[in-house]
Amino acid sequence: MQRRIDDSLIDDLQTSIGNGPAGRRPDAEQNGIPDIVIRRLPIYARSLSYLYSEGVETVSSGELGNRLGVSAAQIRRDLSYFGEFGKQGKGYNVAYLLAEVKSILKLDRTWPVALIGLGHLGRAVLHYEGLVEQGFHIEALFDHNPEKVHQRLSGLEIHSMQELPEVLAGADIKMAIMAVPARSAQEAADALVEAGIRAILNYAPITVQVPAYVRIRHIDPIVALQSMTYYLDIEEQLSTQSNGHSNEKVRSGKLD
């Protein structure tokens, strides 16, 4: 049975967390959990959301791993940092585990976000509906360009960078998305940190430096594409060699 994942579903799941099997350890919020584990949790949550929407009630670590291309042992090890969520031989209750992972990641609430840079990329991010669907609401816009300041987009006024501290404090915003040119990325990041931002998603094609107490993720599609071009000729050569070897067998009458 297909079920739509929406805000009301998350509310319903929150009411059943205390009734699930085993559960999260009281010290699950403590430091010491590898960052790579935290990075994998949203991927688990996304797959669990798909399973829930498909009407799946229980899933084993092996089945979940097959969907994600990771081992069952990896999933069990990652989840064990936070507690015991399943029973051996019975797997995980999908709705319960989804609610628990979302709670661990603090995705059981709405997060206000600031967007810095309203060029083509920034406007695309602003209009991306997936952010709102997952609880991330862009509530403040900023740009260096004085010609854009005071314009309105999607019902929000574009503020100058000088207004950062006042606007962010008033809206209690701790997260920001940067969609600015590389030349102004470090300056923008410094201003965000100074204004109290503690988490930054950076689309600028440059690595910016922030204090250790600020979390930052860099997204650069160019670098991602460049990391794949290396393999293209290699794969083509291997394919050509394989086909040539097979053709030679056919001509010589030697077939395996």
What is the per-residue pLDDT for 88? 73
CATH number for the domain including 41? 1.10.10.10
What is the per-residue pLDDT for 117? 97
Q: Are residues 162 and 76 in the same domain?
A: no
What is the per-residue pLDDT for 105? 95
Instruction: Report yes or no on 52 lying in a domain.
Output: yes
What is the per-residue pLDDT for 253? 54
Q: Are residues 189 and 207 in the same domain?
A: yes
Last-in-domain residue among 79, 104, 129: 104
- Between the CA atoms of 142, 146, 150 and 152, what dihedral angle is there, to the nearest 10 degrees? -70
Helix axes 94-104, 7-14, angle to 10 degrees: 100
What is the per-residue pLDDT for 21? 39
Instruction: Report yes or no on 247 lying in a domain.
Output: no
Q: Are residues 128 and 189 in the same domain?
A: yes
Q: Are residues 125 and 150 in the same domain?
A: yes
Is this structure's pTM higher than 0.95? no
Instruction: Report yes or no on 85 lying in a domain.
Output: yes
What is the per-residue pLDDT for 240? 66
Instruction: Report yes or no on 33 lying in a domain.
Output: yes
Instruction: Report yes or no on 14 lying in a domain.
Output: yes
* Sign, CA torsion 12/13/15/16: positive
Q: Are residues 149 and 205 in the same domain?
A: yes
Instruction: Report yes or no on 234 lying in a domain.
Output: no
Residue 237, CB-side half-sphere exposure with 13 Å CA sphere: 5
What is the per-residue pLDDT for 24? 47
Instruction: Report yes or no on 154 lying in a domain.
Output: yes
**Domain hosting residue 151, numbered range:** 111-219
Q: Are residues 145 and 92 in the same domain?
A: no
Last-in-domain residue among 64, 80, 104: 104
Q: Are residues 154 and 189 in the same domain?
A: yes
Instruction: Report yes or no on 163 lying in a domain.
Output: yes
Number of domains in the chain: 2
- Between the CA atoms of 16, 18, 21 and 22, what dihedral angle is there, to the nearest 10 degrees? 160
Low-confidence ranges of the chain (pLDDT < 70): 1-31, 235-256
Q: Are residues 85 and 139 in the same domain?
A: no
Q: Are residues 13 and 43 in the same domain?
A: yes
